Structure 1
Amino acid sequence: MKYNDLQVSANKNKKRVGRGIAAGQGKTAGRGTKGQNARTGKKLRAMFQGGQRPLAQAVPKARGFKSLRTPAQVVYLDHLNAFDGKTVDNALLFTEGYIATPFHTVKVIARGELKAKVDLKVQAASASVVKAIEKAGGSFEKVPTPLRKSAKDIESDEK
């Protein structure tokens, strides 16, 4: 038998308990024998632990929030000296090992001095970096984050 051959419905019928011995869920109707949970009108809070302080009440709440945005990959200004006269983009930084992946935002921040003339094409750069690049004779262009290509897109590009 295959998984797709199974005959199942999306909505199961509710189990009718307490309808006699022949029905299979008669007498105690699945509640066991005696005790607080076996009685009619049993209504306990979801977190009730028999009068003991609930664990969820004892543990402190998590404060703040966790951002889902991935932080930018940082490249320092003095790293750009290695690319004298080149156009620096995500792909080049990735192949040279300065960033982990070419498909995330890259930001260049100031550290050290820039002596090389570079044309920088990344997602972000600090104001002091842009000033330093222009002073060295280069240029900065803000470009969108490159998207990862699917196998279909790669095949169509090759044709």
Structure 2
Amino acid sequence: MAAAKKPIEELKAEDVGLHTLKPAPGSRKKRKRVGRGHGSGTGKTSGRGHKGAGARSGAKDRARFEGGQMPIHMRLRKLRGPHKKMSMPFEPFRTQTQAVNLQDLDRRFDSGAEVTLEALVAAGLGTRKDIPVKVLAKGQISKPLTVHAHKFSGAAKEAIEAAGGTVVVIES
């Protein structure tokens, strides 16, 4: 008669070792063996149902298969150019910035004002959190302003400095 196994709690320190290791209860499961008779629960059609594309050999059961419609990796645009991976979707590599135009700065701020990110938000500009602000040259600026932003277009930088203002690039 084989000796009864002791619960893990009752084992002594010398009994614990690589020879006593076993998986946690319920963590291991037997492999499903399909097509092994009615009693197995997966006999006859082997869990594939009756007829249809899923019942045929070579059925598309891969994760990215979408039932025959155009898959998402083919619907998205691709990066173009000789030094890029041609098959990569375009969107994950787009740089996100929120645009603030010179005409908006001219309308909302007084002459000599300090235009910080907080001041922009208070004025209703650049309100999206954690997205860099870029100042663009749409419109005219007639006042000297000290503008703090993450990026500036070349024309916007020239226009601000021509009006007597200064440009401060925020490093993020």
TM range (shorter): 0.5 to 0.7
Q: Which of residues 74, 93, 96 is equivalent to 2:99?
A: 74
Q: Which of residues 4, 8, 11 is equivalent to 2:27?
A: 11
1:59 corresponds to:
69
1:28 corresponds to:
39
Task: Tell me how far 1:72 sits from its aligned partner.
Answer: 0.8
2:127 corresponds to:
100
When the two structures are superposed, what TM-score results if normalisation uses the length of structure 2? 0.57
Task: Tell me how far 1:141 sits from its aligned partner.
Answer: 1.4
> Is contact 1:130-1:140 (8 Å) kept?
yes
1:47 corresponds to:
60
CA 1:74–1:10 in 2, change beyond 3 Å: closer, same or farther? Answer: farther
Flag structure 2 segments of 5+ consecutive residues without an equivalent.
1-23, 48-54, 78-88
Per-residue deviation, residues 120-139 of structure 1 (Å, max 9, x unmatched):
11001111111111111111
Stretches of 4+ moved more than 6 A in 1? Answer: none
When the two structures are superposed, what TM-score results if normalisation uses the length of structure 1? 0.61
Distance 2:127 2:26 in 1: 45
Q: Secondary structure at the match of 2:168?
A: strand
Flag structure 1 segments of 5+ consecutive residues without an equivalent.
1-7, 19-24, 49-53, 146-159
Per-residue deviation, residues 16-52 of structure 1 (Å, max 9, x unmatched):
769xxxxxx98631214x34x38xxx9932428xxxx
Distance 2:139 2:56 in 1: 69
RMSD after superposition: 3.3
Distance 1:55 1:104 in 2: 34
> Is contact 1:74-1:107 (8 Å) kept?
yes
Q: Secondary structure at the match of 1:28?
A: helix
- What's the % identity of the aligned pairs? 24
